[in-house]
Amino acid sequence: MHPDIPVIAPAAALNPTAARSLLGLAGLPTIVAMGPFDDQAHAEQLATAFNTVRLRCQAQLILFGSGGSRATIMLRSFGLGVGTSVHVIRDFTEDRWPYLIAAADVVVPNTAATSTTLLDVLGAGRPVVAQADPTTVRLVVPASAGLIYRPGDVSGMAGAMLRLLTTPALRHGMGCRARGVARRYRLQRMALQPADQRNEYA
């Protein structure tokens, strides 16, 4: 366990409010954007989209991970007047990751997110706002486990984040379906394993 996180409950058992409290984050609707932040265009779009969200509701943006374009998000956010609502988490450790995802109301994966990363987020019961590509469309769209926007569509990204942040019933329903997606894919992977390896999961 990370030394800054008291041993109180497994991350999966925490609601976002409780997880934010454990991590010392403000009790605001929370968007967690996952690095690495290596896509300059996406970084600028994320900052602009978050500014649009902040014009409509109180929220905070958490940047989780490294990458050369992370500074772009911060600089642009401060230039737009919302920099104090953007926070950086630099400690990308395996034990801290589940608590941060648990603290999120919405997760924004990076543009190069793998199916494994997406499934980890969905398995935590968090809806995603993701750029449309074959991987995200295949995992997210059929089960309505999040919202998709077209590449470069800043308005679409902002609208998706705002819709989930301000519609608890939609967010909850998508989070429940997200868990189902991750569970099904895990069972499918198990079914493809040889019998002796499947026993390791039992």
Could you report the per-residue pLDDT of 80-96, keeping only the tens digit for each? Answer: 999 999 999 876 566 77
Ordered alpha helix ranges (H), the chain:
16-23, 40-56, 70-80, 97-103, 115-123, 134-140, 154-166, 168-192, 195-198
Note whether 1 and 7 are within 8 A (CB): yes
Residue 58 DSSP label: -
Q: How are beta strands 30-34 and 60-64 bridged, if at all?
A: parallel
pLDDT of residue 11: 67
Rounded percentage of the chain residues whose pLDDT exceeds 70: 85
Stated as kind and residue range, the H or E segment containing 32 is strand 30-34
149, β-bridge pairs: 131
Rounded to whole angstroms, the Cα distance separating 107 from 70 reads: 16
Task: For the domain made up of 11-201, give the CATH fold.
Answer: Rossmann fold (3.40.50)
Note whether 129 and 161 are within 8 A (CB): yes
* pTM score, whole prediction: 0.86
Per-residue pLDDT at 200 exceeds 80? no
Phi and psi, residue 137, nearest 5°: -65, -40
Rounded to whole angstroms, the Cα distance separating 98 from 27 reads: 18
